[in-house]
């Protein structure tokens, strides 16, 4: 099934033509749980990985005895998924209890190299906003599931670009780390439904005049909403006007449906939520941070955004049409189960030379 972002509630470039210069496309990936094939774009594999090529490993020392078994992480998610909306059965409780006691792999030392986790595989043909080096048409993303690398003590991400046509026999089975430092570093396998949408630059990175004009416009919109609310209050003197409470409630629901929605630039008109390739970076938790290339200084846009939620209350207008009836289903809202930073992790790459070292930013 495809996923379709509803049209933005306002054509913001018609209101502010200057925003046309701050427009960019992004490809929303719309991950949903499922198992892809190596020939597909996916989250958490399997990858189109050559049988004769070594799998990336992390050689850092980690407290691996304290890690969570990947098999337990997956089992826990499955049990929780199946028990949604009801209490756990005794059998499920027994399974979950067993997991908290099993926390290590016998014989695995802190110094042992750990296969990296296959996180995402994106074909350029599926993801138009994926910008990489000349030649390759496939990006493979890995990370180590322990978050204590380098001076920033963060997650370690590895990118591999390749030409799909160069891959002969595909490696099977594919390695994975037996343990993860934190459960929320482990992505659940997902198929993707890429969709290209338009974004506009983060509010705080627009010129000050434009920011002020947008703020003023938003306030006017709010006033309109308030006026309609007041009229609604005037009408709502019933139930005297209505024969029954049912009629009264129906009338109120109809009035609510006619109210203008609350629209704001940041939530509805600027940056799409969820996993995506390309587009703009949101800096809602920190001030905007320059992401210059470590090799040549060129400002680096986000290549890939890894998000905990595909959609929340504030970004509700981005919920795909196909998911409207499932807006509280965790498999729609948080299909991947990954939580990095405070909900967002971005991989930035150099537009001048995508093989220059990448950088990460978090929100
Ligand atoms: Zn590591
Ligand atoms: Zn560079």
CA of 64 to the centre of ligand 1 (A): 10
Three-class secondary structure of residue 163 per DSSP: coil
State the pLDDT at residue 238. 47
* Ligand 1 geometric centre to CA of 181 (Å): 9
Alpha helices in 64-194, H assignment, sequence order: 70-82, 90-101
Ligand 2 centroid, distance to 356 Cα (angstroms): 5
pLDDT at position 234 is 47
Cβ-based burial of 239 (10 A; exposed 0-12, middle 13-18, buried ≥19) = middle
Q: At what angle do helices 245-258 and 208-235 cross, to 10 degrees?
A: 160
For residue 117, give the ligand nearest its CA: 1
> Which ligand has the shortest distance to the CA of 352?
2
Partnered with residue 42 across adjacent β-strands are: 121, 191
Would residue 334 be called left, alpha or beta, if left means φ above 0 and alpha means ψ between -120 and 50 degrees? beta
Distance between Cα 176 and ligand 1 center (Å) = 13
239 prior amide bond cis, ω within 30 = yes
Gap from CA of 150 to ligand 1 centroid (Å):
10
> Which ligand is nearest to the Cα of residue 348, counting in written order?
2
Measure 357 CA to ligand 2 centroid, in angstroms. Answer: 8
What pLDDT is stored for residue 307 in this prediction?
97
Distance 158 CA to ligand 2 centre (A): 17
Dist. CA 141 → ligand 1 center (Å): 14
Distance 303 CA to ligand 2 centre (A): 13
Bridge-based pairing of strands 42-43 and 190-191 is antiparallel
Enumerate the β-bridge partners of residue 359: 348
Q: How far is the CA of 157 from the centre of ligand 1 (A)?
A: 9
Cα 309 from chain centre = 6
At 147-173, the pLDDT tens digits run 989 888 899 999 999 999 999 999 999
Alpha helices in the chain (DSSP H): 12-15, 70-82, 90-101, 208-235, 245-258, 330-333
Please give the sequence-ordered ranges of beta strands (E in DSSP) within the chain, or none if there are none: 23-28, 32-33, 42-43, 57-58, 68-69, 114-115, 117-123, 138-143, 157-162, 179-180, 190-191, 195-200, 276-278, 302-307, 344-348, 359-362
Taking CA atoms, 34 is separated from 31, 40, 176, 318, in Å, by: 9, 12, 18, 22
What is the predicted pLDDT for the residue at 110? 93
Gap from CA of 330 to ligand 1 centroid (Å): 29
Point out the ligand nearest to the CA of residue 60: 1
Distance (Å, whole) CA 22 – CA 171: 43
Q: What are the helix and strand counts (H, E) for the chain?
A: 6, 16
Low-confidence ranges of the chain (pLDDT < 50): 234-239
Measured from the alpha carbon of residue 148, the closest ligand is 1
CATH number of 24-67+104-202+271-362: 2.30.320.10
CA 281 to ligand 1 centroid distance, Å: 26
42 Cβ neighbours under 8 A, 6+ residues apart: 36, 120, 121, 189, 190, 191, 192
Instruction: Please enumerate in sequence order all residues whose Cβ is within 8 A of that of 294, keeping only pairs 6 or more positions apart, or say none.
Output: 356, 357, 359
Those residues whose C-beta lies under 8 Å from the C-beta of residue 343, and which sit 6 or more positions away, are 307, 308, 309, 363
Spacing, Cα 206 to ligand 2 middle (Å): 24
For residues 138 and 56, give the distance between their C-alpha atoms in angstroms, rounded to a whole number.
16
CA 337–ligand 1 middle distance (angstroms): 19
Give the pLDDT score at 241. 58
Q: Helix 90-101 and helix 70-82: axis angle, to 10°?
A: 160
**What's the N-to-C CA distance of the chain in angstroms?**
30
Sequence-distant (≥ 6) Cβ neighbours of residue 256 within 8 angstroms: 232
CA of 190 to the centre of ligand 1 (A): 23
Distance 359 CA to ligand 2 centre (A): 11
Domain edges within the chain:
24-67+104-202+271-362, 205-258
Ligand having the closest approach to the CA of 296 = 2
């Amino acid at each position: 099934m495809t996923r379709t972002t509803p049209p933005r509630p306002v054509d913001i470039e018609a209101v502010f033509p200057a925003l046309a210069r701050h427009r960019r496309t992004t490809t929303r990936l719309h991950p949903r749980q499922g198992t892809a094939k190596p020939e597909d774009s996916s989250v958490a594999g399997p990858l189109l990985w050559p049988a004769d090529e070594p799998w990336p490993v992390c050689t850092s020392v980690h407290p691996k005895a304290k890690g969570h078994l990947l098999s337990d992480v997956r089992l826990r998610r499955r049990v929780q998924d199946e028990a949604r909306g009801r209490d756990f059965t005794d059998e499920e409780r027994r399974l979950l209890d067993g997991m908290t006691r099993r926390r290590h792999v016998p014989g695995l030392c802190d110094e042992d190299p750990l296969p990296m986790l296959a996180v995402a595989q994106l074909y350029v043909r599926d993801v138009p906003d994926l910008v990489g080096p000349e030649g390759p048409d496939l990006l493979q993303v890995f990370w180590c599931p322990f978050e204590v690398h380098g001076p920033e003590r963060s997650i370690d991400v590895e990118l591999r670009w390749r030409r799909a046509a160069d891959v002969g026999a595909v490696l099977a089975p594919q390695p994975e780390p037996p343990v993860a430092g934190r459960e929320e570093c482990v992505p659940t396998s997902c198929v993707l439904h890429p969709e290209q949408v338009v974004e506009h630059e983060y509010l705080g990175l627009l010129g000050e005049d434009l920011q002020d004009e947008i703020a003023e416009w938003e306030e006017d919109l709010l006033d309109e909403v308030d006026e309609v609310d007041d009229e609604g209050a005037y009408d709502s003197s019933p139930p005297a006007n209505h024969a029954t409470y049912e009629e009264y409630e129906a009338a109120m629901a109809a009035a609510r449906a006619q109210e203008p929605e609350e629209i704001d630039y940041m939530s509805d008109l600027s940056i799409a939520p969820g996993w995506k390739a390309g587009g703009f970076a949101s800096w809602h938790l920190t001030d905007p941070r320059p992401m210059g290339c470590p090799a040549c200084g060129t400002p680096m846009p986000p290549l890939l955004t890894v998000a905990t939620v595909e959609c929340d209350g504030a970004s509700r207008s981005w919920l795909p049409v196909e998911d409207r009836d499932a807006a509280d289903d965790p498999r729609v809202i948080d299909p991947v189960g990954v939580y990095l930073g405070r909900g967002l992790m971005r991989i930035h790459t150099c537009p001048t030379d995508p093989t220059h070292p990448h950088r990460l930013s978090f929100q």
